Structure 1
């Protein structure tokens, strides 16, 4: 019995070590979403890059240089939400919670894009107009930091007051607290959320 328990502990340590390696910098032969990462997406939000459509949670494949194009060539995607009400206004945010890595997110969240006052009629057409509080920044995970999640969240704005970043928030993209922003402007829960995972294009 003691030998069996000892072997079980060894196997558990090895499995945990392998999982840590895969999440924190390791490259698996076929990268797939975890159940929790897949469950993040809801509400029917869709993104359209020149060579990549995202309408569900996914890991960006290495094929067709998609990771390289995301990180160095393509600008902001078209963002479409067909359930938007024409006269209402919406806020869209894009963040990376895995900065500098998912296992050591000391600068989470990194703000990649923040647009407010998006009119519903434009959002239904995939045209994200509005007041840009943070310009779009491409997904550029550092080498050796594993897969990063790039999360898009859409909120309905309440009231007519202006939304803005504080001086402290505007001074840095990293260590941003999106929930504090949401609470400050009473945005509530995201109506829709979407994410893709990608890693450094050279890996």
Structure 2
């Protein structure tokens, strides 16, 4: 049986990962700053079977906002739907929005799945607009961050995968 190897992201993509944010899927462990390997049907299972990952961060006495986006939709070469929203959680441990599995289209190459963790300003109520709530797709993450004055992420990580059939 062939050994299943987890390859770390290259220098450019690994710069995105900072702050010790962990994204843990069953059988894979922390996928931060890695390519999801094709072995053991991991790419299929992350896209079709497994529910939301366990996200770990050394939380201080603060509220947090977690955002998961695909900046490479529909492909890294043509990201016209940049920042496809997969998951948004505000008031961490209080309000959860539906998780969308990573499902890169067939023949679209590798996609980055980014997790951004922000400190939520004290006494700030953060909600998606009706338009954002109605659409699970492309959105302007920069506008969202600016609107709610989230600043820069306290931690971020990403993994890279492609369609399991490719």
**Higher relative contact order, structure no. (Cα contacts within 8 Å, ≥ 6 residues apart):** 2
Among 104, 125, 131, the alignment partner of 1:162 is 125
State the TM-score, normalized to the length of structure 1.
0.75
Describe the SS at the equivalent of 1:51.
coil
Could you say if the C-alpha distance between residues 76 and 165 of structure 1 is closer, same or farther in structure 2, counting changes exceeding 3 Å? same
Name the residue aligned to 1:100.
74
Change (3 A) 1:101 1:142: same
CA RMSD of aligned residues (A): 1.6
Counterpart Cα distance in 2 of 1:55 and 1:107 = 24
The equivalent position to 1:90 in structure 2, one of 37, 52, 64, is 64
TM superposition shift of 1:106: 1.1
3-state SS, counterpart of residue 115 of structure 1: strand
Alignment of 1:119-134 (within 5 A): 129-132=93-96, 134=97
CA contact (8 A) 1:96 1:151 kept: yes
The whole-number CA distance in structure 2 between the counterparts of 1:166 and 1:146 is: 31
Deviations 1:121-167 (A, max 9, x none): xxxxxxxx2212x3101011110000000000100011213101112
- Find out whether 1:35 has 2:11 as its counterpart: yes
Between the two proteins, the alignment pairs up a number of residues equal to 161
Higher Rg of the two aligned structures: 1
Q: Does 2:22 match 1:46?
A: yes
Determine the structure 2 residue equivalent to 1:178: 141
The structure 2 residue matched to 1:193, chosen from 139, 156, 161, is 156
8 Å CA contact 1:155, 1:189 repeated in 2 = yes
Runs ≥4 residues deviating over 2 A? 30-34
Query: CA offsets, 1:49-105, max 9 Å, x none?
Result: 1111226311111111111110111000111102x11x3110001000111001111
Stretches of structure 1 that go unaligned for 5 or more consecutive residues are 1-29, 119-128
Gaps of at least 5 residues in structure 2 are: 1-5
Contact kept, 8 Å, 2:7 with 2:34, in 1: the verdict is: no
Q: Distance in 2 between matches of 1:194 and 1:130?
A: 22
SS in 1 for 2:127: coil
8 Å contact from structure 1 (residues 44, 55) kept in 2: no
Are residue 116 (structure 1) and residue 79 (structure 2) matched?
A: no
Cα distance in 2, alignment partners of residues 145 and 189 from structure 1: 30
> Which residue is 1:57 aligned to?
33
